[in-house]
């Protein structure tokens, strides 16, 4: 690595900042959900993030849009649609299930990427990756049971403690599937564009989709209390811009597998914060299931990062 390519900050430190930032997402969303709907939160998160990076993209990188093939532009638009659906599903899941279950289940996206790779990318699933997928899926089943079932023999229901955990867990899984689609579609385009151009286009598309859904549902975008606007702004600034930008920055200096596995600190950080700030203590079965999921994803991520 040349002197010009040396990072200004230690990459592990930047990754730590990123993990702390994204771990705050579910907590900030829960605070915003006291008044704003999940769809409005998703729209604000993506819209504010787009407005922050738009001046940079227009100022230094606007020539990239003019030279971009139509196929790549359509790919980014489609990636933005998947990103919008991801946030709509995942943020809504927090209305129905616990923070621990939601963040662990939505972290299954590398598993769905690995499952789709043989079809979409013509990549084979190795024995190690297959083992990781099986372990992660077993863990997701345990997490689902921990929220919806109790006692022996297990007694399961859609509702529990004033919530519907099975619906929430299903939405979190839908969030994992849609963000996997976002990664798969964007992978082909991202390498040919600067980060500001790419995220401005994708975030902007996702913001428009969310705003259209909000308008179709007749939900208000204004008229909230000042503290709600604070939470909405922090959702966009902290986990979206600081968190995700930290991971994207670190990819220039660290192997993909290292960055991918490090991001698994988000479910751990979110679970700890949910316990400290929201009083949500994870059950023993949920901890075991979460451990299975994180271990399985680690196997998948390391295998794909080394391929």
Structure confidence by residue, pLDDT tens digits, 10-21: 888 888 898 899
pLDDT in tens, 230-276: 999 999 999 988 988 888 777 667 765 566 677 777 888 888 888 88
In contact, 266 and 15? CB cutoff 8 Å: no
- Region 61-78: mean pLDDT is 84
Instruction: Give the model's pLDDT for residue 160.
Output: 44
Quote the pLDDT of residue 161.
44
Q: Considering the chain, what percentage of its residues have pLDDT values greater than 70? A: 85
Examine the pLDDT at 45 and tell me if it is beyond 90.
Answer: yes
Please give the share of the chain, as a percent, with pLDDT higher than 90. 32
Mean per-residue pLDDT of the chain: 83
Q: Is the pLDDT of residue 151 over 60?
A: no
pLDDT surpasses 90 at 218: yes
Q: Enumerate residues 6+ apart whose C-beta is below 8 A from 114.
A: 125, 129, 132, 133, 300, 303, 304
pLDDT at 189 (0 to 100): 73
Grouping H, G, I as helix, E, B as strand and the rest as coil, residue 155 is: strand
- The pLDDT assigned to 190 comes to 66
Which pairs with CB-CB distance under 8 Å and at least 24 residues apart come from 191-199? 192/72, 193/64, 193/68, 193/72, 194/57, 194/60, 194/61, 194/64, 195/245, 195/248, 196/53, 196/56, 196/57, 196/60, 196/61, 197/57, 197/61, 197/64, 197/65, 198/76, 199/49, 199/53, 199/248
pLDDT of residue 307: 47
More confident residue, 111 or 232: 232
| pLDDT mean over 206-214 | 97
Model pLDDT, residue 255: 65
Q: Is the pLDDT of residue 69 over 90?
A: no
Q: What's the pLDDT score for residue 283? A: 81
pLDDT band for 225, please (50, 70, 90 cuts): very high
Q: Which residues of 34-65 are buried (b: 16+ CB within 10 A; e: fewer)?
A: eebbbbbbbbbbbbbbbebbeeebeeebeebe
Q: What is the pLDDT of residues 180-201, one digit of tens each?
A: 888 888 777 766 777 788 889 9
CA–CA separation, 98 and 104 (whole Å): 10
Q: How confident is residue 171, by pLDDT bands cut at 50, 70 and 90?
A: very high
CA distance 274 to 276: 6
Q: How confident is the model at residue 77 (pLDDT cuts 50, 70, 90)?
A: very high
> Is the pLDDT at 120 greater than 50, yes or no?
yes
DSSP H helices in 37-164:
38-60, 62-66, 70-93, 99-106, 109-120, 127-148
Query: What CA–CA distances, in Å, run from 294 to 123, 125, 285?
Result: 23, 18, 14
Contact 108, 297 (CB under 8 A): yes
pLDDT of 166: 81
What is the mean predicted confidence (pLDDT) over 116-124?
72
Q: Please check the confidence at residue 116 and state whether its pLDDT lies above 50.
A: yes
**Most distant CA pair in the chain, distance:** 63
Give the model's pLDDT for residue 46. 95
Parallel, antiparallel, or unpaired for β 155-156 and 149-150? antiparallel
- Say which range, 74-83, 86-95, 225-234, 287-296, has the weakest mean pLDDT: 287-296
Place of tokens 């295998």: 303
Of 128-137, 173-182, 215-224, which has the strongest mean pLDDT?
215-224
* pLDDT value at 305 more than 70: no
Of 51, 13, 41, 12, nearest in space to 241 by CA = 51
């Amino acid at each position: 690595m040349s002197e010009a390519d040396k990072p200004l900050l230690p990459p592990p430190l930047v990754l730590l900042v990123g993990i702390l930032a994204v771990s705050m997402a579910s907590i900030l969303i829960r605070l915003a959900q006291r008044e704003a709907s999940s769809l409005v939160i998703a729209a604000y998160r993506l819209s504010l993030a787009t407005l922050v990076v738009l001046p940079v993209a227009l100022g230094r990188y606007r020539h990239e849009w003019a030279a971009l093939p139509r196929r790549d532009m359509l790919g980014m638009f489609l990636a933005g649609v998947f990103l919008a659906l991801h946030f709509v599903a995942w943020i809504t899941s927090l209305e129905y299930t616990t923070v621990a279950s939601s963040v662990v289940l939505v972290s299954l996206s590398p598993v769905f990427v690995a499952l789709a790779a043989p079809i979409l990318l013509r990549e084979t699933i190795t024995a190690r990756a297959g083992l990781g997928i099986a372990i992660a899926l077993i863990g997701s089943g345990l997490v689902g049971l921990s929220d919806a079932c109790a006692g022996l023999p297990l007694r399961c229901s859609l509702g529990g403690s004033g919530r519907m955990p099975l619906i929430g867990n299903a939405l979190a899984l839908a969030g994992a599937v849609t963000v996997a689609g976002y990664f798969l579609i964007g992978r082909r385009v991202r390498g040919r564009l600067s980060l500001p151009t790419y995220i401005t286009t994708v975030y902007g598309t996702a913001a428009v989709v969310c705003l259209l859904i909000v308008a179709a549902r007749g939900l208000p975008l204004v008229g909230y209390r000042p503290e709600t606007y604070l939470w909405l702004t922090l959702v966009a600034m902290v986990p979206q811009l600081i968190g995700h930008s930290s991971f994207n920055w670190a990819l220039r200096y660290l192997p993909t597998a290292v960055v991918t596995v490090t991001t698994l600190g988000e479910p751990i950080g979110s679970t700890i914060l949910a316990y400290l700030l929201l009083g949500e203590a994870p059950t023993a079965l949920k901890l075991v299931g979460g451990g299975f999921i994180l271990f399985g994803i680690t196997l998948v991520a390391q295998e794909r990062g080394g391929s």
